Amino acid sequence: MSQLSSILRDGLWHNNPGMVQLLGLCPLLAITTSVVNALGLAIATLFVLCGSNLIVSVCRRALVREIRIPVYVLLIASLVTASELFFNAYLPSLHARLGIFLPLIVTNCTIVARAESFASRQPPGAALADGVAHGLGFGAVLLVVGALRELLGTGHLFKGLHLLIPGATQDGIALAGDGLLLAILPPGAFFALALVLILRNWIEQ
Amino acid sequence: MTTDATRTSVLRSTLTLVFFAIIASAVVAVTWVNTKQRIADNNEAARVARFAAVLGAVTFDTIDTDKPHVIPTPHTLPGNAPVTYVTVRRADAIVAWVFRITAKGYSGPIQMMIGVTTDVRISGVRVITHSETPGLGDDIERSKSDWIESFNGMQVRGETDTQWALKRDGGSFDGFTGASITPRAVIQAVAQTLRWAERHQDTLRETTP
């Protein structure tokens, strides 16, 4: 129980991939123009991270040191390819929305980092919990940055939610008038992430 | 002794790698086999939906997608590349044409499908691919805004039809906040296509299936 809560606290706060380790910054900065995009990538990354942690942990005794990295790469690549096909078949609108960033999950350093530093040394249960914790931690940062940019940039939130949840709002919730253009453009991603990091460090002190 | 140990370890590593390569390929292969039909269906459904979207209220039974007509350069349509269009029929009679047009946007080409009825009106316009600024220029996508619907039913009245412009330029189209090049490019391209269709109605009509 205490191990589980320490795994969760580690992934969500103390060792959060997006705020502390600063891993996976490319998708984090690129896709967070809206809450819906962020949520889509968060779900996909969570799925791949849990799957890869679980498989690596199950296979950990079969792997000798010299070849563990190529095996992780193989496993993660096949898992991402399979999920991309799966998303394309069953969630085509989300697949179209995330575009290249779905296959690019394979290059998210968080996934190979968790496989190497945690899943390869822990039993499957703990590895899965670690995958959930880090996946949710990364997803939470995606969502906060996405919400910040969408709100500051367009004055709306949840625009296009019907792509993820059929029947949900398409135009989103209007919370303000016109937004600040900069927030949606690439520099806005850096400013939004910086705000999140400032907030985290300030709470931590 | 050392060579034997090395040989065993290399062999073991190789076999492990081969084993995992087979497993990984099997996972991808099984997923591919089980999803390929659905993915093909999705793509086909998306293609049909795109045509249906640009045809709007037009009733039709066949689209000659396998017999596209090519308009070679030089032409007065948008862009410098040959343009293709397909004929849409109801009971063998032509009811509309769908053009594939590439306009020059703010940050790259904007690919569009433009439906034109036989009375030379727009039946619908959809943007297929573009690289306009997210949150600003991408309101040309139907999934982001219904702006693109404002073309429906429009026609051109002569070469100097002033309604084919943004409201701020004296026309009849709403603009986007923070982006004016993108909607101008789209309006311009649609108007140009419609003018071309008006001038080349004989060519459009005489093409046999």
pLDDT tens for each residue of B36-49: 999 999 888 888 88
Q: Which residues of B touch A89 (CB under 8 A)?
A: 35, 38-39, 42
Q: Which residues of B touch A101 (CB under 8 A)?
A: none
- The candidate with the shortest Cα–Cα distance to A13, out of A5, A25, A1, is A5
**Cα A196 from Cα B102, distance rounded (Å):** 40
pTM of the prediction?
A: 0.73
For residue A145, what pLDDT is reported? 92
Structure tokens, B126: 């959809």
Per the model's pLDDT, the better-predicted residue between A126 and A66 turns out to be A126
Q: Which of A78, A88, A157, A169 to mutate to test the interface with B (most CBs of B within 10 A)?
A: A78
Which stretch of DSSP H or E encloses residue B9? helix B2-55
Whether the Cβ atoms of residue A201 and residue A20 lie closer than 8 Å to each other = no
Asked whether the predicted pLDDT for residue A188 surpasses 90, the reply is: no
**Cα B3 from Cα B10, distance rounded (Å):** 10
For residue B209, what pLDDT is reported? 47
Q: Which residues of B touch A69 (CB under 8 A)?
A: none
Chain B residues within 8 A (CB-CB) of chain A?
9, 12-13, 16-17, 20-21, 23-25, 27-28, 31-32, 35, 38-39, 42, 46, 133-136, 143-144, 177-178
Percent of chain B with pLDDT over 70: 97
Which stretch of DSSP H or E encloses residue B61? none
- Residue A85: which of B16, B31, B177 has the nearest Cβ? B31
pLDDT digits (tens, 9 = 90+) for A8-30: 888 888 888 888 888 888 888 88
Range B102-112 average pLDDT = 90
Q: Which residues of A touch B144 (CB under 8 A)?
A: 159-160
Binary contact (B24, A77; C-beta < 8 A): yes
Look at the block and give the residue holding tokens 């249906």.
B52
Query: How far does A63 lie from chain B, in Å, by closest CA?
Result: 7
**Cα B5 from Cα A187, distance rounded (Å):** 55
**Cα B163 from Cα B157, distance rounded (Å):** 9
Q: Which residues of B touch A74 (CB under 8 A)?
A: 17, 20-21, 24
